[in-house]
């Protein structure tokens, strides 16, 4: 009886991941006819179609879905074996796939840079996207670890905090409230708010904070990125509540002010998460040990990167 080959399964996995024969061919440095031939051979082995095409999109058949689940297990076991053998040789080697929400991009690359210098044999891939897309990846178990500002309640995950993530009120330096002290939340609620898209962790935390005080922010405009919000603030379109980490990169120099609002900063944390029941790879465990053993390093990076004198990420008294 003919058996499927590892190469055929690799081609199949790439097509599922990209949703395209062409993209899979590019990823694997193969011609599209070669990819099609490999899938034809795999389909012959299975005896059932693996894909169906509707319009320009391809979808997995029921047989394809079953094969995909098996495929994930096969490649995860192979990856684990490679890591185990590397560990036996005294090397920390393998691949770390990390997916983070967009706001985490202000510190995640620096963290990974330090990690890679410490473990040069580990290859790292970083996926940065909005919360909704990161949760989709988490459900599909596409990565080793996930970094979010708020762990999902609708998904069974293991989640732990590793870094503070204070939310602050930002306005233009020319805003009438820029130099006021002890501004009330009721006063702030009257201002025009610039907000991230619905479902954003920052937006969820902001609306919950106002609701606890019996208030509702006056959302004037929704924008899809923190950079767009900061530019809109500078343009005088309103104020916003963002993570203090967003001051780390692309900040319009001298054009933003952190307002002194009662109850702020909102104290939140960054979480690392992974699906409950998932067996972490050796490399993922090494990365978690790195996070847990270097809390002060994380603080130093965040505060230096944000270019602020008193660091709001440090515990009280420091």
Report the C-alpha gap between 206 and 200 in whole angstroms.
Answer: 10
Neighbours of 37 (CB within 10 A): 14
Collapsed DSSP state (helix, strand, coil) of residue 240: strand
What pLDDT sits at residue 146?
A: 95
* Assigned token pair, 273: 């998460």
Domains of the chain from N-terminus onward:
6-69 (1.10.10.10), 92-164+269-306 (3.40.190.10), 167-258 (3.40.190.10)
Whose structure tokens read 């590793």?
162
**Can you list the alpha helix ranges (DSSP code H) found in the chain?**
6-18, 21-28, 32-46, 62-88, 108-118, 131-139, 185-188, 201-212, 226-234, 282-293, 295-306
**Closest to 16 in 3D by CA, of 76, 77, 57:** 57
State residue 184's pLDDT score: 92
Asked if 92 contacts 122 with a C-beta cutoff of 8 angstroms, the reply is: yes
Low-confidence ranges of the chain (pLDDT < 50): 1, 90-91, 250, 301-318
Instruction: Give per-residue pLDDT as tens, 74-83.
Output: 877 777 676 6
CA of 147: how far to CAs of 192, 197, 214, in Å?
30, 18, 31
Give the pLDDT score at 290. Answer: 86
pLDDT tens-digit readout, 91-101:
456 788 899 99
Q: For residues 254, 258, 260 and 261, what is the CA-based torsion angle, rounded to 10 degrees? A: 150
């Amino acid at each position: 009886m003919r058996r499927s080959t590892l190469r055929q399964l690799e081609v199949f996995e790439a097509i599922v991941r990209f949703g395209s024969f062409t993209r899979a061919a590019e990823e694997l440095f193969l011609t599209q006819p070669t990819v099609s031939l490999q899938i034809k051979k795999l389909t012959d082995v299975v005896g059932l179609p693996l894909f169906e095409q509707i319009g320009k999109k391809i979808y997995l058949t029921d047989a394809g879905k079953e094969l995909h689940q098996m495929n994930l297990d096969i490649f995860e076991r192979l990856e684990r074996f490679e890591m185990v053998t590397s560990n036996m040789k005294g090397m920390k080697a393998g691949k770390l796939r990390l997916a983070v929400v967009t706001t985490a991009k202000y510190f995640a690359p620096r963290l990974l840079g330090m990690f890679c210098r410490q473990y040069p044999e580990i290859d790292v891939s970083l996926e940065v996207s909005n919360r909704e897309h990161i949760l989709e990846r988490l459900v599909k178990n596409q990565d080793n670890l996930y970094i979010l500002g708020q762990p999902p309640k609708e998904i069974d995950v293991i989640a732990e905090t590793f870094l503070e993530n204070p939310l602050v009120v930002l306005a233009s330096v020319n805003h009438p409230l820029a130099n006021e002290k002890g501004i009330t939340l009721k006063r702030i609620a009257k201002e025009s708010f610039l907000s991230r898209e619905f479902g954003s962790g920052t937006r969820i935390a902001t609306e919950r904070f106002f609701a606890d005080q019996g208030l509702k922010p006056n959302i004037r405009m929704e924008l899809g990125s923190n950079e767009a919000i900061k530019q809109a603030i500078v343009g005088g379109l309103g104020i916003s509540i963002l993570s203090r980490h967003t001051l780390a990169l692309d900040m319009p120099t001298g054009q933003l002010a952190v307002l002194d609002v009662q109850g702020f900063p909102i104290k939140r944390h960054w979480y690392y998460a992974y699906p409950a029941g998932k067996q972490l790879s050796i490399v993922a465990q090494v990365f978690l040990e790195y996070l847990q053993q270097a809390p002060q390093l994380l603080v130093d990076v965040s505060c230096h990167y944000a270019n602020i004198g008193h660091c709001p990420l440090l515990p009280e008294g420091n």
